[in-house]
A and B are shown apart, each in its own frame.
Chain A
């Protein structure tokens, strides 16, 4: 009996230790995307992207480039539940290396405590979704953000 119980207990202890090692929040793509899709209606699902967020010792930016068809109507939905620390979403007309870029949306303006929010856009060819990741202890926190895009059928 002892021969079975001791290794099982040891392995359980190891797995518990490992879960504390990275501070990972479970990123469940299915759950998060299904939740985001509820905010899409009446727009049709087009695509989605789950971004892994790693909090670093300095503030950092994770960017998603989103090509669009000009003249089409789009809805952007964000699901930010799997983030241990608040991450701001900013949407620009140019990438993060460009000097003269225009801010089209910031989650700061919607509500900082909201975990889901949306933004509608038209007459734009490419937008850049920037996740502004605040500083934290290195490697202490990771999480995930989901971005979903819907388009409107006329």
Chain B
């Protein structure tokens, strides 16, 4: 009787022992055989695929991208950010949720650094709503965020601190939920939105400082592509996203001043680069097309 009682849990635990013995190569191979992995795929395997890489990528936050862009002197155009009322529209695939979480984060940062506090609060709410579809509720609920936002509404530094703290909590949640691949998609979304805003403002004014800031942002395309490639088996939409960003990156690298700097392994100075209207037009069209695909 005792043997029987001991045998039942031991047999039940056998698969656990075998699963511990599975190495990361096996997990990677398994992933390669399952390109259609989506929401239902065990996140733990996805995390293993990312964590076991010898190289990883730490990409800048939407807040920092917006801060650097603001320094170019770009103004605020209220029609540029994505419609706040669209959040429910994106509650479909992991890809849509993630990229649009990034898009709303970039919009929030754009409003914040332009001192549009009411709009910032509304975009923070949009981030919270779409974040809840990604399991990020805790990052937004922990410290009576809405009340704290109202309390500090005229204090720039406190608001930036508050949003930075939400950013850190979101990053922790991504880590705890084994969603590093979602984080990369969100950053790709934020980067696209920030570029889109920069393109629209540049098209209006043809300001050289804004152009330089836009080119600085374009330099992020390569690390974003690499980060996406290390997560390419996670969501079905990732290969197409990589292709779109590669197109933008190729157009950027085809600018003679850029290709020459890359060839000579020289530092690119975006303030002095000479670039034709046609080269700018090509990149702007590709950026707008990518953004339109993300928010549709």
Contacts and interface: CB of A to CB of B under 8 A. Distances in A.
A69 B58 contact: no
User: At the interface, is chain B mostly helix, strand, loop or mixed?
Assistant: helix
B219 A7 contact: no
Contacts of A95: 55
A18 B9 contact: no
Nearest to A129: B58
Interface string B256-273: 000000000001100000
A111 interface: no
B67 A49 contact: no
B164 A45 contact: yes
Interface string B44-76: 000000011011111111011001100000000
A33 B171 contact: yes
Interface string A39-74: 000001111111110100000111111111110100
A147 interface: yes
Contact of B219 (A50, A61, A125): A125
Interface of A: 2-3, 6-7, 10-11, 14, 18, 21-22, 29-30, 33, 37, 44-52, 54, 60-70, 72, 95, 125-126, 129, 147, 149, 151, 153
Interface of B: 2, 5-6, 8-10, 13, 16-17, 20, 51-52, 54-61, 63-64, 67-68, 157, 160-161, 164-165, 167-168, 171-172, 175-176, 216, 219-220, 223, 226, 267-268
Given A44-B161, A45-B164, A125-B219, 15 more contacts: A6-B5, A7-B8, A10-B10, A14-B13, A18-B17, A30-B176, A47-B171, A48-B58, A62-B54, A64-B57, A65-B56, A67-B59, A70-B216, A147-B58, A151-B67
